[in-house]
């Protein structure tokens, strides 16, 4: 491929899918106190949530170093790329974009395009998949960037949290600040469609929160790339049942939210992502 795609581990691409698409994934790091792990390399999603449940400390995330991005860019060029399109987690919630930009600036003369997805988890992941498939089909770097830039404002991400404690302690509450006064009595829904965390709703039970997510999908009418992403949630099938009347179930991507986003979303987080059709 003349164009190669790079992303970070907040995209929640599985290793198998990344390999199939030829995408280089630069991992963020997760710290539990003094212990540091490389996302998805040292800590699978399942292992992360198990550790989260048993840990007395709230983990923290750290953006990849510019050097980690330089290594990924170098691999892409060594594989024959003429250009690299790097699509990253929203700059509104992570310093990862800045690391990627610094790495690109240091590689003088290389054709590297850095794109802010303004999204997280499969909102980002769906953009990466579309970009990689376009590149594999012979699209130019300009065409790949244009494709992604068209998807960005159409991308929606909503999450039903089982607890706000992780988001609160991690300092990522943002526009959802008003939710904090009622932590014990709600199952909050957040909206990250703008690239920052905002309040979407305050359902009082888990079942109402999942219905709220399904209603959000319905309200947006004709959607594409619908995905259900979760943090070891036990009620994924029930949520898929709610979505089945709205979208062909066999076409819904289902995946696990990895440690990068799971640190803030907390255990049993349930997310829905999609693009509104243009």
Cα 73 from Cα 64, distance rounded (Å): 13
Neighbours of 191 (CB within 10 A): 18
Cα 186 from Cα 134, distance rounded (Å): 42
Determine the longest span between alpha carbons in the chain, in angstroms.
55
User: Which of 10, 6, 57, 2 is closest to 229 using CA atoms?
Assistant: 10
Domain 3-27+63-153 and domain 154-276, same fold? Reply is no
pLDDT at 179: 52
Cα 127 from Cα 117, distance rounded (Å): 8
CATH classification code of 154-276 = 3.30.1180.10
159 and 198 Cβ atoms separated by less than 8 Å: no
Predicted TM-score of the model (pTM): 0.92
Q: Could you state, in chain order, the average pLDDT of each consecutive group of 10 residues for the chain (278 residues)?
A: 94 97 97 94 93 86 97 96 98 97 95 98 98 97 98 98 67 52 72 94 93 97 97 96 96 96 91 95
pLDDT at 176: 54
Helix residue ranges per DSSP H, 137-182? 141-151, 165-169
When computed from its CA atoms, the radius of gyration of the chain, rounded to whole angstroms, is 18
User: Which of 205, 204, 223 is closest to 272 using CA atoms?
Assistant: 223
**3-27+63-153 has which fold?**
Rossmann fold (3.40.50)
Domain boundaries, the chain: 3-27+63-153, 154-276
260 and 28 Cβ atoms separated by less than 8 Å: yes
pLDDT at 255: 97
């Amino acid at each position: 491929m003349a164009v190669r795609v790079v992303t970070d581990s907040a995209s929640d691409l599985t290793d198998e899918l990344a390999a199939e698409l030829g995408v280089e994934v630069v991992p963020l790091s997760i710290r539990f106190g003094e212990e540091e792990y490389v996302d998805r390399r040292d800590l699978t999603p399942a292992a992360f949530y198990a550790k989260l449940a048993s840990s007395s400390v709230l983990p923290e995330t750290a953006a990849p170093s510019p050097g980690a991005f330089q290594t990924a860019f170098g691999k892409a060029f060594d594989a024959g790329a003429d250009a690299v399109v790097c699509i990253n987690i929203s700059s509104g919630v992570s310093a990862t974009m800045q690391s990627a930009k610094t790495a690109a600036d240091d590689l003088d003369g290389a054709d590297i395009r850095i794109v802010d997805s303004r999204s997280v988890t499969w909102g980002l992941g769906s953009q990466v998949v579309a970009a990689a498939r376009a590149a594999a089909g012979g699209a130019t770097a300009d065409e790949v960037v244009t494709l992604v830039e068209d998807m960005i404002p159409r991308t929606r991400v909503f999450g039903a949290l089982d607890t706000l404690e992780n988001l609160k302690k991690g300092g990522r509450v943002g526009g959802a600040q008003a939710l904090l006064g009622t932590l014990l009595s709600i199952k909050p829904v957040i909206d990250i469609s703008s690239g920052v965390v905002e309040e979407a709703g305050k359902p009082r039970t888990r079942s109402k929160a999942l219905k709220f997510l399904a209603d959000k999908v319905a309200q947006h009418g004709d959607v594409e790339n619908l995905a259900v992403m979760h943090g070891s949630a036990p009620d994924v099938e029930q949520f898929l049942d709610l979505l089945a009347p709205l979208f062909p179930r066999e076409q819904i991507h289902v995946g696990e939210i990895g440690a990068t986003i799971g640190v803030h979303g907390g255990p049993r987080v349930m997310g829905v992502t999609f693009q509104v059709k243009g």
